């Protein structure tokens, strides 16, 4: 495992053990676990990420810490927009759409004002960081995964 994979696994385990709360760089931030299927491999992936609540939607930001490439989960969601998230102790089925234009700009600016690291990520890259809206599609929750599921 790489240091990044170890950090992701640790964050997922702490999230599940503490009802969606974690320490470290995510301490106090709204955090969810995004489940996707690999666009090429079909393998399930789980990624912890900050979100911005927008009514019933959960907005996520494909910042990849300011990299010039979008994160893999972004490509996976474009290929398979029906997915699920864990928020607190709930697992929720969602559909993803990418925000465009003024709505994207407004929501990214709001996130960057609340968490200035996002503004720094945008300054580090030439690409426009995508914003995706995850909208719940079921009113019922899905079964919780075990602590053994990781991002591998």
Report pLDDT digits (tens) over 15-71. 999 999 999 888 999 999 999 999 899 999 999 999 999 999 999 999 999 999 999
Is 111 a member of any domain?
A: yes
* Number of domains composing the chain: 1
Is 149 a member of any domain?
A: no
Lowest mean pLDDT among 2-6, 31-35, 88-92, 105-109: 2-6
Is 141 a member of any domain?
A: no
Is 112 a member of any domain?
A: yes
Structural domain span for residue 82: 3-136
Cα(35)–Cα(63) distance, integer angstroms: 17
Q: With 60 as the cut, is the pLDDT of residue 151 above it? A: no
Return the HEC string of 39-79. Answer: CCCCCEEEEEEECEEECCEEEEECCHHHCCCCCHHHHHHHH
CATH of the domain at 86: 2.30.110.10
Is 146 a member of any domain?
A: no
Is 104 a member of any domain?
A: yes
Is 131 a member of any domain?
A: yes
Cα(66)–Cα(83) distance, integer angstroms: 24
Cα(108)–Cα(130) distance, integer angstroms: 9
Closest residue by Cα to residue 73 from 52, 93, 56, 98: 98
Confidence of residue 107 (pLDDT cuts 50, 70, 90): very high
Q: With 90 as the cut, is the pLDDT of residue 84 above it? A: yes
Is 142 a member of any domain?
A: no
The model carries a pTM of: 0.87
Confidence of residue 152 (pLDDT cuts 50, 70, 90): very low
């Amino acid at each position: 495992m790489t240091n990044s994979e170890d950090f992701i696994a640790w964050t997922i385990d702490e999230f599940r053990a503490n009802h969606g709360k974690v320490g470290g760089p995510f301490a106090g931030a709204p955090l969810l676990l995004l489940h996707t299927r690999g666009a090429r491999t079909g393998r399930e992936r789980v990624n912890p990420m900050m979100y911005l609540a927008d009514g019933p939607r959960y907005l996520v930001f494909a910042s990849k810490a300011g990299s010039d490439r979008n994160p893999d989960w972004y490509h996976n969601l474009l290929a398979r927009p029906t997915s699920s998230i864990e928020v607190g102790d709930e697992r929720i089925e969602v559909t993803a759409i990418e925000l465009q234009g003024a709505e994207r700009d407004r929501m990214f600016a709001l996130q960057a004002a609340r968490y200035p690291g996002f503004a720094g990520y945008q300054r580090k890259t030439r690409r426009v960081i995508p914003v995706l809206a995850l909208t719940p599609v079921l009113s019922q929750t899905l079964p919780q995964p075990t602590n053994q599921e990781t991002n591998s």
